Amino acid sequence: MGQGRGWEGAVLRLMRAKDFEFTVTDAEDVTVDYRRLRLTDGGMLAATGVHPTMWVRLWFDNGGRPHQRAYTLVDPDPATGTFGLEFALHEGCASDWARAAKPGDTIEATVQGTGFEAPVPAPGRVFAVADPASLPALNSLLDALDTVPATIWFEGDTGGLPLRTDPARHEIRPVPRRDAGAHLVERVKESLPELLRSTPEPYVWIACDTATTRALAAYTRKELGVPKQRVNALGYWRAT
């Protein structure tokens, strides 16, 4: 399929990744910095099934070289073979592609490594740390745990973004991005310890830039003593 993908593609093939071609059917600017696409799946959902926070690797052209980035599926529908993708726009080849994408455009994708295990026992409360890049995954998590209350630290402006939160059970704590994520780490550390002490069976979900995610995951596991099976952490992008 398409151009060679270098060592990244070779590794994924050795790990028995599956390749598919997606086709854009609709595009919508949710805000000036957030764009939603609807796509057909090229047979993917019938072959792989669907689970919460499911993601795929998309392959973009980066100056003539292949570049892959992972994105969470939004509202996948196996019956019609369609799903959405949402892009927090910034500089880079992935955002450039998303800005220009129109119905009929295609993109190659690889499915490998995605999975979701619902926390057992069910959480008394979810503590989530997210930002616009991980918003689709956050929404999918909240949908999957739809009766569980949550406290959410959200880095960045939430204005106009499609947050699937319910004021009755979800508390959103907006945090401006400062000092390359250090401000977010500070805000979480200020309040998470006391919140954990008052919550039976907590579940901590962290998905922001890689450095911040690592710092908060290590803090939660090592300093606060949350068992690793009750912490899910995945870096969604690298700060430059």
Domains and CATH numbers, the chain: 6-111 (2.40.30.10), 125-233 (3.40.50.80)
Mean pLDDT of 39-67: 94
Task: State the average pLDDT for the chain.
Answer: 92
Those residues whose C-beta lies under 8 Å from the C-beta of residue 227, and which sit 6 or more positions away, are: 221
3-state secondary structure the chain: CCCCCHHHHHHHHHCCCEEEEEEEEEEEEEECCEEEEEEECCCHHHHHCCCCCCEEEEEEEECCEEEEEEEECEEEECCCCEEEEEEECCCCHHHHHHHHCCCCCEEEEEECCCCCCCCCCCCCEEEEEECHHHHHHHHHHHHHCCCCCEEEEEECCCCCCCCCCCCCCEEEEEECCCHHHHHHHHHHHHHHHHHHHCCCCEEEEECCEHHHHHHHHHHHHHHCCCCHHHEEECCCECCC
At residue 11 the predicted structure's pLDDT band, cuts being 50, 70 and 90, is very low
Model confidence at 127: pLDDT above 70: yes
pTM above 0.85, yes or no: yes
At residue 1 the predicted structure's pLDDT band, cuts being 50, 70 and 90, is very low
Mean pLDDT of 128-140: 97
More confident residue, 178 or 18: 178
Model confidence at 15: pLDDT above 60: no
Distance CA 186, CA 138 (A): 21
Task: State percent of the chain over pLDDT 70.
Answer: 92
Mean pLDDT of 40-51: 95
Supply the pLDDT for residue 171: 98
Mean pLDDT of 62-91: 95
- Helix 210-218 to helix 182-197 angle (10° resolution) is 30
**pLDDT tens digit sequence for 208-228:** 999 999 999 999 999 999 999
